[in-house]
């Protein structure tokens, strides 16, 4: 957002979305896991306290909108976004407590489209204004603590997604571990292949063009198709070489998923490593030669340190891509969170699908944050300000 903007446009949008939200159903109630749900709007709320919690974001947006100072308006709107998020969590807590006490034991509640719109209205200021990392971490930390307290005290027990998570806790943990293992293995293989390959082809224009052309072609193949194409050759290899079969390499399972994900992860790692190598200024290399450095010394002292931030950025993109694509591994017998997504679709269990999607999002956000921290750490201190100012402006 430009500094000259007073932020009112962002807040007007947030206010409009929050008002629009109350005209849609706010939550859904199901008598059991697979029963058809009943949607309820503002007039169907069982307790008055719930009404206050769900309407609070509208008033918070209004207060922030009429704040006279531009900078204060932005800061207040961000603080109010986190406060409104807490209010919506308490809204779900109130519904869960009511239906848990007055409904059947198998009752489940879930957010409705109106609730999701209200939550999105709180996200608008967060996306529209630049938030200091410390403030964002504090706000997220408070939300996590509030959610953890409500879960620990049983005040969200009727929430369908939470019930699904508690009922399948052991399998959920196992599939999260499987998902991380498959994604990490693919990125690790792609890194071992892609980073050295980038250094090898960086000086040869023909080899570079041919290799990148091949990578571009492979990127156009749909992931499901690539998974399927690997089944027959891997099955044949497994039959011909018992050792491969004992190692777990066969037509279905984790092996074809990891190989396919490695192919997809290779391109961002290779491309970003090449960008880092080509970004090293020739004058810096000339200075190294003038100081009497050998090619190996320049590689170790100059080229690799300056290229490392680009490599980490490529690995970050590859990891995010692999986490998303690994979901489809379920279709060829691999583990991971795709188990919850596709089994939920097969069982008509929306809660199971949402559970898988939530943890996919959390894994993606966690991987992104981790590699951003690593990327910041590997940037030479003298270049951090320049590097991150360019990163924000791009």
Q: What is the pLDDT of residues 321-372, one digit of tens each?
A: 999 999 988 888 888 999 999 988 888 888 899 999 999 999 998 898 888 8
The rounded Cα 310 to chain-centroid distance in angstroms is 20
Q: What pTM, to 2 d.p., does this model score?
A: 0.82
Q: Any long-range contacts for 387-390 (C-beta under 8 Å, 24+ apart)?
A: 387/309
What's the whole-number mean pLDDT along residues 7-32? Answer: 91
Phi, psi of 159 (to 5 degrees): -70, 125
DSSP one-letter code for 379:
S
Helix (H, G, I), strand (E, B) or coil at 337: coil
**Residues 224, 332 contacting (CB under 8 angstroms):** no
| 276-305: average pLDDT | 79
Q: How far apart are CA 43 and CA 40, in angstroms?
A: 8
163-175 pLDDT, tens digit per residue, is 999 889 999 999 9
Distance (Å, whole) CA 138 – CA 215:
41
Distance of CA 258 to the CA centre of its chain: 20
H or E element in which residue 369 lies = helix 350-378
Q: In this predicted model, what pLDDT tens digit does every residue of 170-191 receive, in sequence order?
A: 999 999 999 999 999 999 999 9
pLDDT at 374: 86
pLDDT at 249 over 80: no
The number of C-alpha atoms within 13 Å of 135 and in the hemisphere containing its C-beta is 15
What is the C-alpha to C-alpha distance for residues 52 and 41, in angstroms, rounded to an integer?
14
Give the domains, in start order, of the chain with CATH numbers: 8-159 (1.20.140), 169-393 (1.10.3720.10)
The vertex-110 CA angle with 107 and 114, nearest 5°, equals 140
Length of the chain: 394
Element (H, E) at 362: helix 350-378
CA distances from 314 to 109, 127, 148, 268, 269 (A): 41, 24, 34, 5, 4
- Torsions phi, psi for 38 (to 5 deg): -115, 125
Question: How far apart (Å, rounded) are the C-alpha atoms in residues 279 and 371?
Answer: 21
d(CA 386, CA 326): 35
**Beta carbons within 10 angstroms of residue 112's beta carbon:** 20
- Token pair belonging to 97: 């407590």
């Amino acid at each position: 957002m430009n500094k000259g903007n007073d932020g009112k446009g962002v807040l007007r949008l947030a206010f409009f979305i929050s008002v629009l939200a109350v005209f849609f159903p706010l939550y859904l109630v199901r008598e059991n896991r697979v029963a058809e749900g009943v949607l309820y709007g503002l007039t169907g709320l069982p307790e008055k306290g719930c009404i206050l919690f769900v309407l609070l974001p509208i008033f918070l947006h209004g207060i922030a909108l009429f704040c006279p100072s531009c900078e204060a308006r932005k800061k207040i709107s961000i603080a109010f976004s986190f406060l409104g998020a807490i209010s919506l969590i308490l809204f779900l807590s109130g519904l869960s407590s009511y239906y848990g006490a007055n409904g059947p034991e198998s009752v489940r509640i879930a957010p409705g489209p109106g609730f999701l719109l209200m939550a999105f209205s709180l996200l608008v200021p967060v996306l529209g204004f630049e938030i200091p990392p410390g403030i964002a971490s504090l706000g997220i930390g408070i939300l996590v603590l509030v959610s953890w307290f409500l879960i620990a005290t049983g005040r969200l027990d009727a929430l369908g997604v939470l019930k699904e998570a508690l009922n399948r806790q052991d399998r959920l943990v196992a599939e999260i571990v499987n998902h991380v293992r498959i994604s990490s293995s693919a990125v690790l293989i792609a890194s071992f292949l892609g980073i050295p390959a980038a250094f090898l082809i960086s000086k040869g224009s023909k080899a570079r063009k041919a290799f990148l052309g091949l990578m571009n072609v492979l990127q156009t193949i749909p992931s499901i198709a690539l998974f399927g194409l690997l089944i027959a050759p891997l099955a044949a290899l497994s039959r011909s070489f018992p050792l491969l079969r004992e190692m777990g390499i066969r037509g279905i399972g984790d092996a074809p998923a990891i190989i396919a994900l490695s192919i997809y992860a290779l391109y961002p790692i290779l491309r970003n490593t090449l960008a880092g190598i080509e970004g090293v200024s020739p004058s810096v290399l000339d200075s190294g030669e003038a100081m009497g450095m050998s090619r190996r010394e320049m590689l170790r002292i100059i080229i690799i340190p300056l290229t490392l931030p680009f490599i980490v950025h490529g690995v970050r993109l590859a990891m995010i891509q692999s986490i998303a694509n690994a979901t489809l591994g379920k279709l060829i017998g691999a583990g991971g969170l795709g188990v919850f997504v596709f089994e939920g679709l097969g069982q008509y269990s929306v809660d199971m699908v949402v559970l898988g999607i939530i943890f996919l999002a959390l894994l993606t956000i966690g991987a992104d944050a981790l590699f951003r921290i690593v990327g910041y750490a590997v940037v030479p201190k003298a270049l951090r300000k320049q590097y991150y100012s360019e990163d924000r402006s791009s």
